Structure 1
Amino acid sequence: MMKKYVGAALLTALCIPFLSHAQYAEDALRYSEMNQTGSARFQALGGNHAALGGDPSSIHGNPAGLGFYSRSEFTFSPGLTSINTKGNYLGQSYSNSKSLGNISQASLVIASQPGFQRRWKRSSLGISFSRQQSFHDTYNYGGLNNRSAYVDKVVADANGKSTPVSQLEADFEANGSVTGGPVAYSVPAAYYQMYLINPSGTSGFPYSAVDKNSVVNQFGTLDASGANTQWTIAYAGNLDDKFYIGGNIGFSRLRYKYTRTFEDSYVDSPELISVSQGEGLDVTGSGINLSLGVIYKFSPMFQLGGTIMSPTFTSIKETFTQNVSAQYVDGKVTGPDGTLITPPYTSLPIAPNDFEYSMTSPFRGNLGATVFLQNKGFITGTVEYVGYSGMSVRTKYLNDTDNQAFKTDTKNEITDSFRNAVNFRLGAEYRANLMRFRVGGAYLMSPYQNSDGIQRDKFLVSAGLGVRGNKFFADLSGSLAMYESAFTPYTLSNVQDYSSVRITNKPVNAVLTLGMLF
């Protein structure tokens, strides 16, 4: 399934691939969703940032929280994430999991000396490295399909564009300049060279699959890695120990990579044993954003806080790769003239596609409140707004007309597919001498306009504990997220002829924060 553009030199008549605006809309969402960030303390509290201070998470959360610091502090927060998924496809289920370590956050807060004779009591400067998003994912799926195979998608694409044989031959090089060996410039060209599809005559279309009747066992995998990390610089001040205000600037770094496979294993086929597809995407990007936050302490028992966060403006580069391979019964296949031949290729790469674009993530805002239970702890809650429909994507990689079409069509896809979301977070902390006990939860509203029966709303539960000394503290948290997602390996004109994978996701995240006060 072709995902990205081919290079400008390959954009000749009748071979320009379909511009996948829906895919770039999904990419914008992937790089914009955030579940839970910060130190172990804040993650144990359900990811609440709006109305709490005195924590290193304030640097990239609500920067006004830095105004609560009276001493300087250094923290380091290693984390461990366990990905747990179950893929349901064609009535069968497959489970998969993987675990990985990471750095959730590292920070330095430098607090000024208190100004007792001034209304401006103190100020603090904070610098942090934080893991804003994790893209690690894995799942398997499989099932018996008696209605279609991936080759039906290839045939439909070639016939739908009335692609002549001459074009499929032009989209192939026996000695490609990029690979140094045989390379195809489209999936139909690879299938044609491998005799997986055959033309009906000299002109080509309509094409037909070499085997269009056999049942297939289908199996697919995904393995993804990467993260959206951010260096943040924040500054905050405290007026009369009541009004706290702060701002920050964030410099993000995006790294995402996935490999995906899909195989049709033919049952009792006279021609084929199996046909496999592989694809990979490698993405890097860098961005910038700003935040402004305030907290107002109405009394020692109650305070309100809020933050407005600009979109992150990100410049992205990506490379998309594909390959096709096949196994034939007795090493032979029926050619267009009906005779058995030995196919010249059993595996072919598709030429890599490079693309560059820029993305604007959603505008965000939150409002929260904290109620203190004297010296026994507190309860805190946050309401968040995320303007997913305001995401946008644009490029300068193509000509002016195609650049504008890419921007406009992708924006239309975003507004048609996604909606603005309101999220809710709640957390509590109980204090017993040096010990701290915490619980939290969050409801993250699905950004999709149409759920298609998939439970895309995310539910998070978390808990943790900590110990506080005069110069040292340690916090530990664990959180579990629960939600569903979906993936469609290929589509056909009749929705009854293909299926989607329903994926149940239950990632677990553990964070340990070690801090030193000075």
Structure 2
Amino acid sequence: VALILLSSLAVVQFNVQSFALYAQYTSDVLRFSQPELGSSARFKGLGGAQTALGGDISSLSGNPAGLGFFTKSEFTFTPEFNNFKVGSEYLGSTQSDKNSKAGINQVGVVFYSPVNKPKGSDLNSGWVSLNFGVGYNKTNNFNSRISYGGKNSKSSMADYFADLAIASGGGDPATSTDALAAGSLEQMAYNTFLIEYDPAGYFPTTALNNTQQSVINRSGSQSEVNIGMAGNYENKLYLGLSLGLTNINYTSDLAFTESGNNLNYTGQPADFLNGTYTFGYNSIQETKGNGINAKLGLIYKPVNELRLGLSFVTPTWYSLTDNFSENLNASYRRANGSAVPEYTNPLSSYNSEYSLRTPYKVSGGAAYILGNSGLITADVEYVDYSSIHFSSNFPNEERRTNLDVANLYKGNFNYRAGLEFKVVDNFMLRGGYSFAGSPYKNLDFTTQAYSGGLGYRFDNYYVDVTYRHTKWDSTNSPYTISSSYPDYNFTGAGPTANLKNTADNVFLTFGVRF
């Protein structure tokens, strides 16, 4: 769906097209509201269950109270290797695609600072230490390649263009120069003869049983720098807080092609009679911006072996900018197979700025330490995605997007659990599982992740490695047709690709204590 929030074009043009764009924002605000906890390979190997555990740089982005468990300063660095695969089913046809990328997942440092006490006093009474930390985490990886295609017997993307033109309320372009907004997608479609106008209104010039292909390349990431501190009170109670400075850098490059037979209709130009068509729609969306949040947490040890944790993450307040460009070109062949000169449009570019408030998060957890043999840890987290709030300078767009968020999304619980066992001296074996509930009211799009890892400690150094397999389902629609479209009973809301996504990740953490 085209992003058509305009800052450089007339407001009337925005009003003409705004109904076609809010679904894109509805999708994006959810995408940017689902960061994962930035963490080391160790905590990823434990399924991300860290609310009550502490003692890891990951506490900065999860429960900052965990910083209070450090008894030495520590530096960590975590590179990653990611392999993403997407299998699609579209109109009865299946395809698959994959891509790989390496990068830096985490880097950070914690400074241990014991509280100065008079000589001879009990070092474990009162406040024992006040530790500080700063760390960078990648919290979302947008890299993926999605491809799907098939034969469509119900609709054409030209139906979508005609739907836009009808909704714009424009008259006959042959008699009115401003019937369709300049630079709009519907005007591009009219200029390339993909839609026409008659006394009944706009209609597509494409016949059914066409061949469609869509390729989407997404790239970029979401990241966070956390600055935090935590105090240790009598080795029983740990309190912490951190400030998160977040960043989004997201790009989506869409290439959609369709080919088929021309629709024969009264008044059709002779070049198109019984001929064929091929058109390509291309769009590039770039979203960049920054945000801020805060995290508060505590961990309490009722007995030395048991740790209970609670953390609260405030909403993240983002200021985002979208840069969007799109183009539509078409070519035709006559009935005898000879080519008609290609019809092209100049590139249309739009810019928009908006604010986003993501949901708050509340997490509770417990960890049980099995002496020197290992540990068991588990978390539960609540996130209310219906509380996402979108703000822009266009009241209608703001109202529609927030209404869509309220109607589509809901609150859900996420669960994480992990085990760690010492196999031999200084050598650990880990396993973890996480389950994220569906953020949708009417779609069961859950996410599951399985992880396993190894850890080795020697002197003041350690190395951890984790493999994680994540799977989830999703959908993608190349276009959506409104229920007011004259042929809606036949076309329906538009075709949808069912996607099965998997991610295979390897994380390697190097750490040094000093």
TM-score computed with the length of structure 1 as normaliser: 0.89
Structure 1: runs of 5+ lacking an equivalent: 174-183, 334-339, 397-401
Deviation at 1:214, TM superposition (A): 4.5
Matches within 5 A, 1:149-298: 149-166=156-173, 169-170=177-178, 185-200=183-198, 206-211=201-206, 213-266=207-260, 270-298=274-302
Deviation at 1:169, TM superposition (A): 4.1
Contact persistence 2:48–2:416 (CA under 8 A): yes
- 2:205 partner letter: V
The partner residue of 1:372 within 369, 374, 381 is 369
Contact persistence 2:409–2:441 (CA under 8 A): yes
Deviation at 1:410, TM superposition (A): 2.2
- 1:299 partner letter: V
- 1:261 partner letter: A
Matches within 5 A, 1:326-475: 326-330=330-334, 346-396=343-393, 402-403=394-395, 405-431=396-422, 432-451=424-443, 455-475=444-464
Give secondary structure in 1 for the equivalent of 2:345. Answer: strand
Q: Output the CA distance in 2 between the equivalents of 1:411 and 1:12.
A: 22
Q: Output the CA distance in 2 between the equivalents of 1:472 and 1:378.
A: 21
The alignment of Structure 1 onto Structure 2 pairs a total of residues equal to 488
Corresponding residue of 1:177: none
The partner residue of 1:480 within 451, 457, 469 is 469
- 1:89 partner letter: Y
Deviation at 1:416, TM superposition (A): 0.8
Moved more, 184-193 or 87-96: 184-193
Q: 1:463-484 CA deviation, whole Å, 9 max, x = no partner? A: 1101011211000011111110
Q: Output the CA distance in 2 between the equivalents of 1:92 and 1:246.
A: 52
Corresponding residue of 2:17: 17
Corresponding residue of 2:267: none
Give secondary structure in 2 for the equivalent of 1:448. Answer: coil
- 1:464 partner letter: G
Cα RMSD, aligned residues only: 2.4
Q: Output the CA distance in 1 between the equivalents of 2:9 and 2:79.
A: 46
- 1:362 partner letter: P
Identity %: 28
Q: Output the CA distance in 2 between the equivalents of 1:390 and 1:207.
A: 39
Contact persistence 1:77–1:513 (CA under 8 A): yes
Q: Output the CA distance in 1 between the equivalents of 2:332 and 2:506.
A: 48
Corresponding residue of 1:503: 499
- 2:308 partner letter: L
Deviation at 1:299, TM superposition (A): 1.5
Deviation at 1:11, TM superposition (A): 2.5
Q: Output the CA distance in 2 between the equivalents of 1:496 and 1:407.
A: 31
Deviation at 1:4, TM superposition (A): 2.5
Deviation at 1:348, TM superposition (A): 1.6
Give secondary structure in 2 for the equivalent of 1:325. Answer: strand
Q: 1:161 to 1:389 in 2, by over 3 A?
A: same
Deviation at 1:15, TM superposition (A): 6.3
Q: Output the CA distance in 2 between the equivalents of 1:272 and 1:10.
A: 36
- 1:256 partner letter: Y
Corresponding residue of 1:489: 478
Q: 1:262-289 CA deviation, whole Å, 9 max, x = no partner? A: 1112158833331111111000010000
Corresponding residue of 1:4: 4
Deviation at 1:234, TM superposition (A): 0.5
Contact persistence 2:331–2:340 (CA under 8 A): no
TM-score computed with the length of structure 2 as normaliser: 0.90
Deviation at 1:496, TM superposition (A): 5.3
The partner residue of 1:303 within 287, 302, 307 is 307
- 2:459 partner letter: N
Deviation at 1:366, TM superposition (A): 0.2
Corresponding residue of 1:180: none
Give secondary structure in 1 for the equivalent of 2:53. Answer: coil
Q: 1:484 to 1:138 in 2, by over 3 A?
A: same
Q: 1:457 to 1:15 in 2, by over 3 A?
A: closer
Q: 1:51 to 1:168 in 2, by over 3 A?
A: farther
